[in-house]
Amino acid sequence: MRVLLTGAAGFIGTHVASALRESGHDVVALDGWHPAAHRGAPPSIVEGVPLLHADVRDRAAVERALHGVDAVVHQAAMVGLGADVQDLPDYVGCNDLGTAVLLAAMAAHGVRRLVLASSMVIYGEGAYRCAAHGPVVPAARRENDLRAGRFDPPCPHCDAPLTPERVDEDAPVRPRSVYAATKAAQEHLAGAWADATGGSVAALRYHNVYGPGMPRDTPYSGVAAIFRSALERGQPPTVFEDGGQRRDFVHVRDVARANVAALEAAPPGFRAYNIASGRPCTIGDVAASLARACGGPAPVVTGRFRAGDVRHIVAAPHRAGAELGFTAALAFADAVGEFAIAPLRA
């Protein structure tokens, strides 16, 4: 297939470009080179493919890129929690308006196959169970509790401690940050597009992606890159809260394979998939493992917290295995040594 890959010069996009080419697909690479993700001048070639330097919100540029294309893999987006509310227009513009422009252009050109980079952040606080009340949806964590070091959300009915559980794709969408809201909106736009055009959308809800080529320590970086950057400076990784936050870290090469699998499966209509390793770990464990692998100082647990962060979010990855034939191959414990010395993006 001839595939338009947006965000092709980004951390995940470069790995997806490589995986697509290795699978025999013809890649058209497009990237807007947003300053939140990139520094310097954009390259002319990405993974052996000429790069079209254009913003996905530029309808004319997207129309040109879609010429002769069979499918789109849409990675372009602003990621992370950002710096503050002043990022709101950029997030909505890049993620939602950009997706709307792309979908409209796809419809005009008769392109009916889309793989969308989504995120686990749309689940909000994830899934929990109360011993007395069964499955419950906790409220947003209260600042007074966080300041007092009570980081786990209580039962909304009896205030008792909750047990976190795995989230599957049928869980309600409850975004609790601007970024999360824009990713949920991307899914809704893509679903409406699929209904209107008869198109296929595979929305890949990435969990915590890490690996070679991650951007260095910025407000938009993933936590694994932030820890790596600190260790490179000879400083201890700084762990927020008590380090007990549970996450699923999935290697970028696995994410790239998932994109190829979703492209080739082309599920009918709109279908969401958790893309995760299935092996959760705590943020504190990730920091400690990286520190050992880098031979650096032990992590410092600060008790600090960020508005918009959630406590636990761990996926049930079975749907991707059953319907796409995708199962993550790399556990964080097995790949941490490689990641400790892998180059990061400047």
| Per-residue model confidence as pLDDT tens digits over 228-244 | 999 999 999 999 999 99
Is the separation of the CB atoms in 202 and 165 below 8 Å? no
Q: Which of 123, 179, 210, 220 is catalytic?
A: 179
Residue with tokens 């710096």: 83
pLDDT tens digits for range 60-80: 999 999 999 999 999 999 887
Sheet architecture: strand order including 49-53: 45-46, 49-53, 26-31, 2-6, 71-74, 113-119, 200-206, 269-275
pLDDT-derived band at 250, boundaries 50, 70, 90: very high
Task: Please state, in angstroms and rounded to a whole number, the distance separating the CA atoms of residues 62 and 69.
Answer: 11
Confidence label for 116 from pLDDT (cuts 50, 70 and 90): very high
pLDDT above 90: percentage of residues in the chain: 80
Q: What percent of the chain has pLDDT over 70?
A: 96
Query: Sorting pLDDT into bands at 50, 70 and 90, what band is 221?
Result: low
Residue 154 DSSP class:
B
CA–CA distance, 172 with 168 (Å, rounded to integer): 9
User: Cα separation of 194 and 99, whole Å?
Assistant: 13
Q: Where are the beta strands (DSSP E) in the chain?
A: 2-6, 26-31, 45-46, 49-53, 71-74, 113-119, 127-130, 134-136, 163-165, 200-206, 208-210, 238-239, 246-247, 249-251, 269-275, 281-282, 300-301
| pLDDT category of residue 83 using cuts at 50, 70 and 90 | low
Helices (H), 161-251: 178-197, 223-232
Q: Is 91 a catalytic residue?
A: no
Nearest in space to 111 (alpha carbons), one of 182, 197, 43:
197
Q: Which two tokens stand for residue 331?
A: 């556990």
Q: Is the pTM of this model over 0.85?
A: yes
* Average pLDDT of every residue of the chain: 93
As a whole number of angstroms, the distance between CA 161 and CA 165 comes to: 13
